[in-house]
Amino acid sequence: MRALVKPTAAPGLELQEVPEPQPGPGEVKIRVLRAGLCGTDLHIEAWDDWAASMLRPPLTVGHEFYGQIVELGPGVPSQGGKYDLAEGMYVSVEGHVVCGVCRNCRAGRQQMCVQTSSLGVNRDGAFADYVVVPHSNVWVQPDIIDADLGAVFDPLGNAVHTTLQFQVSGNDILITGAGPIGVMATAIARHIGARYVVVTDVSDYRLALASRVGADHVVNVARERIESVQERLGMAEGFDVGLEMSGSPTAMSELIENCTHGGKIAMLGIPKEPFGINWGPVITRMLTIKGIYGREMYDTWYRMTFMMQTSETLRERVRSVITHRVPAEDWQDAFAAARSGECGKVIMDWS
């Protein structure tokens, strides 16, 4: 089968012919139909310090995907029960494989597992014709979710997890960073009833994507300050909720400065290096800052599926984040588009 492989501990990837994986006990074999590029994949391709610390090549990369079950390994529930799996089902997959025995796993906090193994990072991933995953990581998709939407459920889950941390309905929301997850968070905030949603970035291309999914105002912070937008919107005080999606120290600083007293900030964007925070306003304005990682397993999956099922508008807005669809054999074009910054979500077609 075809697989996009990190062959050695060096920059680059190779599309190779490799043996098809076979499902072991409790595992499921899936034929990959669509796969999305993530910033993680760009780090791996470039072989930066993070990638070098995490990967042990050779390894098939990729973790965001949608596909069809083609084989069940021994011990996978398949006797026709309500939640059993079957060949032919169309699925997305949670990419974090947890140990099941650490304190957090046993307490029902699997997303905080201290021994997480990540698909496409610590084990062979989904940029391939077939991939094998634990059956407990498989998320069966309803018919209303097509292949493109199913392929972005991983980053959509990040957006949903972050956006639902604090009360959004009826509040003013500031989102810093208009990458694909920030744009999806914009669509979610609009869907659940935010009053004003303002999005910042330094890319006019990506800010246009945020506008199309429901942002009331977008701010290119290379030219304009957030405070001026508050004045135009008639906001007497600052934002109630901030969603930090960029990993930028400057964005975090502006977010803190523009939150109302008692405001709440959810941080998903990971900075490239440590940075300082002015703790004075955090303390005196009694702000709450909470770090967010991945998706709650599996409450976030239920929530995003339910929301997508109930709104054609939301489905179309999330689908609009996909700006490039590339055949798998042209994977280099897909990576070039993702690196350019002039893109939303990039999807590779493996069908």
E strand segments, the chain: 2-6, 14-17, 27-36, 59-60, 64-72, 90-93, 96-97, 117-118, 130-134, 138-140, 173-176, 197-201, 217-220, 239-244, 259-267, 288-291, 322-327, 345-349
In angstroms, the CA 189 to CA 164 distance is: 9
Residue 203: C-alpha distances to residues 111, 208, 209, 322 (Å): 32, 9, 10, 17
Contact 334, 350 (CB under 8 A): no
Locate 64 and state its tokens: 């965001």
Q: Each residue of 184-208: b (16+ CB within 10 Å) or e?
A: bbbbbbbbbebebbbbbbbbeebbe
Helices (H), 125-191: 147-151, 153-163, 180-191
162 given a catalytic annotation: no
Note if 63 is an active site residue: no
Active-site residue identified among 8, 43, 63, 305: 43
Residue 33: name the closest of 153, 148, 120 by CA. Answer: 148
CB 56 within 8 A of CB 87: no
Contacts of 78 by beta carbon, 8 Å cutoff, 6+ apart: 72, 84, 85, 86
Which of 8, 40, 300, 324 is catalytic? The answer is: 40
Catalytic residues: 40, 43
